Amino acid sequence: MHLFRLRNIPNIISGFRLLLVPVFLLFYFSGLPQAHLLAGITFVIAALSDMLDGYIARRFGFITPLGHVLDPLADKCMQCTAAICLGIDGIIPMWIAYCLIAKETLLLIGGTVIFRRFADCIPSNIFGKAVSALIFFLVSFYTVFPDVYRAGAPWFFAIAVILSIPALVIYTVRGVRLLRSGSDPDAGISNRPANGHNTPEVN
pTM: 0.81
Q: Which residues pair with residue 189 across a beta bridge?
A: 184
Where do the structural domains in the chain lie, given as residue ranges?
Answer: 3-181
Asked whether the beta carbons of 21 and 81 are under 8 A apart, the reply is yes
Contact assessment for residue 168 and residue 99, using Cβ atoms and an 8 Å cutoff: no
Distance CA 199, CA 120 (A): 9
For residue 153, what are the CA distances in angstroms to 5, 89, 96? 44, 12, 11
| 43-79: pLDDT as tens digits | 999 999 988 888 888 887 777 777 777 888 888 899 9
The highest-level CATH class for domain 3-181 is: mainly alpha
How do the pLDDT tens digits run along the chain, 203 residues long?
455 567 788 888 989 999 999 999 999 999 999 999 999 999 999 999 988 888 888 887 777 777 777 888 888 899 999 999 999 999 999 999 999 999 888 888 887 787 777 766 777 767 778 888 899 999 999 999 998 989 999 999 999 999 888 888 888 888 888 888 765 555 555 555 444 433 333 33
Distance of CA 106 to the CA centre of its chain: 12
Cβ-contact 61, 36 below 8 angstroms = no
